[in-house]
Amino acid sequence: MHIQFSQSRPQSARLVAQVTDKGKLPEGLEKALAEGAESARFKGKAGQLFEGFVERDGQVLRLALAGAGDRNDEARLANCEKAGAALAAKYQSIGDAELVLDLAGSSLSAEEAASVLLGLRLRNWRYDIYRTTMKDEQKVTLATVTVVGAPEGTEAAWDELTHLAAGVEFTRELITEPANILYPESFVERCRERFAGTGAEIIVLDEAEMEKLGMGSLLGVGLGSDRESRILAIRWDGGEAGAAPTAFVGKGVTFDTGGISIKPGPGMEDMKWDMGGAGAVAGAMLALAGRKAKANIVGVMGLVENMPDGKAQRPGDVVTSMSGQTIEVLNTDAEGRLVLADALHWTQEEFKPARVLDFATLTGAMIIALGHEFAGVFSNDDELARQLHEAGEATGDRNWRLPIGPAYDKLINSPIADMKNIGGRAAGSITAAQFLQRFIADGTPWAHVDVAGMVWSDKPGRTWGKGATGYGVRLLDRFVRDTIEG
């Protein structure tokens, strides 16, 4: 979607939208429209819409009113996003290519106006490249938003948010792609293309290099696949020279059959998004590099495909991780933690980060515990957990902290190796986090974010349609703004 600013409404545009606060209609509204809104019980609640037709300057216009809710609501920016998203959801396929957002006389600040635009752009995103038989009335037609009467500073505020929007859209693209198109090698190449010219450094490890480093845990997951595994690191040095970076580490299982511990057939197609953690890291890095964040960040993604064949690892196998710790693999479908074990250790050895945050669609148990409302956070550092929670509340990428501790850690002790990769049915998400913690160096602040319930949605949400949500990009961007850039 292209967003532009103008002094006046283009004469060709026939679709005009205005944003209004709860309980207040725009000044100068035509009588028929005002009475129609009242009759339809339009109150200006966040995301509420009303439309009608009016004649202005000899032209018949389709005029939409979008509610931004109570002006004093603590969730004001989120409500402005809802207003913009409601407009996109309503008008993205009606045949008009352009929507005029008329902000003249509105009470919106520049930041609030930019939030409306963010909601518009994010909700208008749809990935239709494989749909070749769609009827014209089903296709997305809305391509341009022209903003008129914007409050001073809106254009600058929007310029800042365009990079965030691009990051969210990139994450959605990666997660939406099918596994025959997106696999470890093509994931790397797509990132190479997208990051060209940003100033970010791309580092890639192939299987031979990982084998030399002793990454038996990660490599074991990909043994049954014809697709080679990769480690991808994207480094952005925008902060103080020589300062230790913050590391984001993502699970990138581009397809997960479960391996020999194969999953049931129904729903297995969803496992194309088992790389949602890596997708979030890639999108966040694109947003940070795009806006030239004043921070040193490295995003590391462990990329594998988990398939069953004669070479695949078996339940009961023992693998040796790069850290030297041995793992008894009791279930090959608990593969994400095996990937992250080596990715986390390599990240700490290679980059000596000040803190480590990992993102992973790690456990189905997380969905049982928190549904699709919160990601789960597990951390060895109270301050880091608090910062993530606050960033989530501010952006809508919400998360909730769960416990870890020695009692849970005992559940993954193995009788023949240093640990086993599952701990039984009880506390499944917690024992997965305990497993990861064994690969975190003493004294390193660390948080594990289990996003299993958040990266894909079966119904439209605040700023997304059915499908990939882009969860994690906004969370990490806000975390960097508040915690590192200050």
Whether the pLDDT of residue 10 is over 90: the answer is no
Whether the pLDDT of residue 57 is over 90: the answer is no
**Does residue 142 share a domain with residue 214?**
no
**Does residue 76 share a domain with residue 48?**
yes
CB-based contacts of 202: which residues, under 8 Å, 6+ apart? 191, 192, 195, 232, 233, 234
**Does residue 400 share a domain with residue 358?**
yes
Q: Find the farthest-apart pair of alpha carbons in the chain and give their distance in angstroms, rounded.
A: 83
Tokens of 452: 């299993």
Q: Is 126 a catalytic residue?
A: no
**pLDDT at site 27:** 84
Q: What is the CATH number of the domain that holds 98?
A: 3.40.220.10
Domain span at 45: 2-150
Q: How far apart are CA 114 and CA 80, in angstroms?
A: 9
Q: How many domains does the chain have?
A: 2
**Does residue 472 share a domain with residue 327?**
yes
Q: Which long-range contacts (CB under 8 A, 24 or more apart) does 134-137 make?
A: 136/95, 137/93, 137/95
**pLDDT at site 11:** 83
**Does residue 172 share a domain with residue 28?**
no
47: helix, strand or coil = coil
Tokens of 331: 């279930």
* Triad 106, 112, 116: Cα angle to 5°: 90
65: helix, strand or coil = strand
Assess if residue 158 is contained within a domain.
no
Considering 127, 150, 173, which residue would you say is the last residue of a domain? 150
**pLDDT at site 356:** 98
**Residue 88, H or E segment:** helix 76-91
Q: Is 263 a catalytic residue?
A: yes
Looking up tokens 């518009």 gives 120
Give the active site residue among 22, 62, 90, 263.
Answer: 263
**pLDDT at site 179:** 98
Q: What pLDDT band is residue 105 in, cutting at 50, 70 and 90?
A: confident
Percentage of the chain modeled with pLDDT above 90: 93
Considering 117, 150, 183, which residue would you say is the last residue of a domain? 150
Whether the pLDDT of residue 9 is over 90: the answer is no
Whether the pLDDT of residue 486 is over 90: the answer is no
Assess if residue 155 is contained within a domain.
no
Segment 64-101, tens digit of pLDDT: 999 999 998 989 999 999 999 999 999 999 999 999 99
* Triad 282, 284, 287: Cα angle to 5°: 110
Segment 366-402, tens digit of pLDDT: 999 999 999 999 999 999 999 999 999 999 999 999 9
CA dist 339 to 121, 185, 212, 222, 268, Å? 34, 16, 16, 9, 20
Task: Report the mean per-residue pLDDT for the chain.
Answer: 96
**pLDDT at site 274:** 98
Give the active site residue among 337, 420, 474, 478.
Answer: 337
Q: What is the CATH number of the domain that holds 427?
A: 3.40.630.10
**pLDDT at site 28:** 85
**pLDDT at site 14:** 92
Q: How far apart are CA 64 and CA 19, in angstroms?
A: 8
**Does residue 167 share a domain with residue 146?**
no
**pLDDT at site 228:** 98
Considering 105, 123, 150, which residue would you say is the last residue of a domain? 150
Segment 258-285, tens digit of pLDDT: 999 999 999 999 999 999 999 999 999 9
